[in-house]
Structure 1
């Protein structure tokens, strides 16, 4: 009888630690990054540019993001994200996916420039040189997987056109001898 209670206690501990993955069975680790065998969504074979797996969730209640970019008065760009059914996780959050929670990665022309834990960010002007650029915000779960709906990452892209700014216009210089 005692061994039965011990086994039951061990099973409860395993369940609290994340099922079979918490007890050492199965292979929930992929490509050197801990990937949770969580019941949140379904891991797909598709990956982003950094090799992070997509975590598919149903369309109803799925996270969403929109991006807005405005020139900042002091230079650079102010980025504002509007999220739906999503909360940003604070630093130090465990690497376990929770429905509708995580961080956003900000990309300029496909290159990661920031990882965001808030909906607002200042993008330095040097990161958006002269020309037209694609700025993308993509949502990630706390375990590093990409939130996805219908096999597509949950993301939003805005085009930004930057031009070199010249010196501020000032008064015309007076002609020599003019008063």
Structure 2
């Protein structure tokens, strides 16, 4: 009888040790602040223009972003992001996808401007020549996969028109 209890106790301890030792990147972990990092959505074969895979999630509770651009008091542009079901991660977090967390990538006419961990940014006028342009904010997980719903990126685009000064030819140039 004592042998049986000892064997059962050993098996129970082995299961506990083996269970925690067997946790890999695909298992649930308790993170800082009680956040649970676990596999999120489905990583698709499709990628953005820089080769980052889409991470498709259920539309219910999916991250959302809206972008608003206004001229600032100087020559630049104030950009404000409004996010839902999304929190910006602190710098230095583990590169693991966690539901509703990550960073935003800001681009102007398809060219990357910056990665954001906040909802506000000042776009310098020097980056926005005269004419109409498109500012896009896309949401990425911390592993740099692009949040997507039904295979489409979670993003928002706003058009801006800059009436900056035209360049005038210098002396000796027509």
Specify if TM > 0.5: yes
Q: What per-residue deviation string (whole Å, max 9, x for no partner) do you get for residues 22-49 of structure 1?
A: xxxxxxxxxxxxxxxx521000011001
- When residues 12 and 111 of structure 1 are mapped into structure 2, their CA distance, relative to the original with a 3 A threshold, is same
Aligned residue number for residue 14 of structure 1: 22
Dislocated runs of 4+, deviation >4 Å: 1-8
- Paired with 1:49 and 1:88, the residues of 2 have a C-alpha distance of 23
Aligned 1:147-162 pairs, distance under 5 A: 147-162=147-162
- Paired with 2:14 and 2:102, the residues of 1 have a C-alpha distance of 37
> What is the CA distance between 1:58 and its match in structure 2?
0.5
- When residues 122 and 165 of structure 1 are mapped into structure 2, their CA distance, relative to the original with a 3 A threshold, is same
Aligned residue number for residue 28 of structure 1: none
- Paired with 2:76 and 2:165, the residues of 1 have a C-alpha distance of 11
> What is the CA distance between 1:165 and its match in structure 2?
3.9
Q: What per-residue deviation string (whole Å, max 9, x for no partner) do you get for residues 119-167 of structure 1?
A: 000011111111111110000001100000011000000111111248x
Gaps spanning 5+ residues in structure 2: where? Answer: 1-6, 28-37, 167-174
Aligned 1:104-143 pairs, distance under 5 A: 104-143=104-143
Aligned residue number for residue 71 of structure 1: 71
TM-score computed with the length of structure 2 as normaliser: 0.79
Aligned residue number for residue 31 of structure 2: none
> What is the CA distance between 1:12 and its match in structure 2?
1.6
Matched, 1:58 2:58: yes
Aligned residue number for residue 29 of structure 1: none
Q: Contact between 2:39 and 2:98, CA under 8 Å: does it hold in 1? A: no
SS in 1 for 2:97: coil
- Paired with 2:51 and 2:57, the residues of 1 have a C-alpha distance of 19
- Paired with 1:83 and 1:107, the residues of 2 have a C-alpha distance of 17
Aligned residues: 150
- Paired with 2:66 and 2:19, the residues of 1 have a C-alpha distance of 43
Please provide the CA RMSD for this pair.
Answer: 2.2
Gaps spanning 5+ residues in structure 1: where? Answer: 21-37, 167-179
